[in-house]
Amino acid sequence: MEKDFDQMNYYEILDIRPGATAVEIRSAYNAALQMYQPESLVSYSFFSREERKKILAQLEKAYSTLINEAQRIQYDHELNPRGIAGIIETDETAKKPVAIFDMNRQATNFAARKNHNAELKAKIAQSRIIADVIARQNIKGQDLKAIRNELGVTMEAIHQETKIRLDYLTYLEEDKIEKLPAAVFLKGFIRAYLKSLCIEPADDISTRYMNGLTPKN
């Protein structure tokens, strides 16, 4: 056994890749329920009552976290502070359970993303506008948008990468903070947004962004 079940991350528990869509998450969850629920023939006698209860609770937690976009971003960040892309690139153990899925697709994704990231970094290094924004004490949605435009990345692409809903991204850039979920997730959003654009130090910048918000938000 490579890893005990209770040490698996939510993606491993559900047997999905880190970038899985909501549809994939839901169907993985249903498939897992079919295997682990008490009436299941598949796992009959395999687990003790307590083990089964624990597994079902973990499954539930995994599902409810990943299916909620804001919670998922938060979780991804806890899992790997370098963001969703980081899970795929650096975490060896996260790769293993993914094996039953399309490894080739993941491999090409991986190579393509590496390329893409290198390009972004080169652009960032040459951009005065970006250097200027990063140096600023107060950072707002319009600054994020300026960076994104400077790098020529569409909002759709950020959505693909971060899994943050498109309307949330729009609100972020337009500073319509009141339309966004609670502040605890907001910081995760900003960080994921910056990470997807290879903007560093993402932690620091997102903190400055949060500090710049007026108390009523």
Partner 1 sequence: MAHIWPIGGGKGGSGKSFLASSMGRLLAKSGKKTLLIDLDLGAANLHTMVDVPYPEKCFSDFIARKVADLHDAVLPTPFPNLFLISGAHDSLDIANLPYEKKIKTLRAIAKLDYDYIVLDLGAGTAYNTLDFFLASRNGIFITTPEPTSIENVYRLMRAIYLRRIRHYFSANDFKALEKKVREHLGDDSFNKPENIVAVIRKEFPDKYALIRKDFSSFRFKLILNQLRKQDNTALGEQICKIIKKHLGIGVEFAGNIAYDEHVHDAICQRVCFLDRYPHTRAANDLRVLNRKMSNAFGEQLTLDYL
Q: Which residues bind partner 1 (CB under 8 A)?
A: 1-2, 4-5, 15, 34-35, 41-47, 97
Question: Smallest distance, Å, CB 7 to partner 1?
Answer: 10
Question: Smallest distance, Å, CB 35 to partner 1?
Answer: 5
Question: Smallest distance, Å, CB 141 to partner 1?
Answer: 43
Q: Which is nearer to partner 1, 4 or 92 (CB)?
A: 4
Q: Which is nearer to partner 1, 45 or 104 (CB)?
A: 45
Q: Are 164 and 157 in contact (CB under 8 A)?
A: no
Place of tokens 């892309």: 85
Q: Which is nearer to partner 1, 47 or 110 (CB)?
A: 47
Report the distance separating Cα 124 and Cα 197, nearest Å: 9
Question: Smallest distance, Å, CB 1 to partner 1?
Answer: 3
Q: CB atoms < 10 A from the CB of 135, how many?
A: 7
Q: Which is nearer to partner 1, 58 or 206 (CB)?
A: 58
Q: Give the 3-state DSSP-derived string for 108-129, with helices as H, strands as E and coil as C.
A: HHHHHHHHHHHHHHHHHHHCHH
Q: Alpha carbon 138 to chain centroid distance?
A: 25
Q: Which is nearer to partner 1, 45 or 214 (CB)?
A: 45
Report the distance separating Cα 204 and Cα 215, nearest Å: 19
The tokens describing 10, both together, are: 């939510």
| Closest-CA residue to 210 (of 195, 193, 188) | 188
Question: Smallest distance, Å, CB 106 to partner 1?
Answer: 19
Question: Smallest distance, Å, CB 104 to partner 1?
Answer: 21
Q: Which is nearer to partner 1, 43 or 207 (CB)?
A: 43
SS3 66: helix
Report the distance separating Cα 52 and Cα 40, nearest Å: 11
Q: Are 3 and 95 in contact (CB under 8 A)?
A: no
Q: Residue 24: CB partners within 8 Å, gap ≥ 6?
A: 16
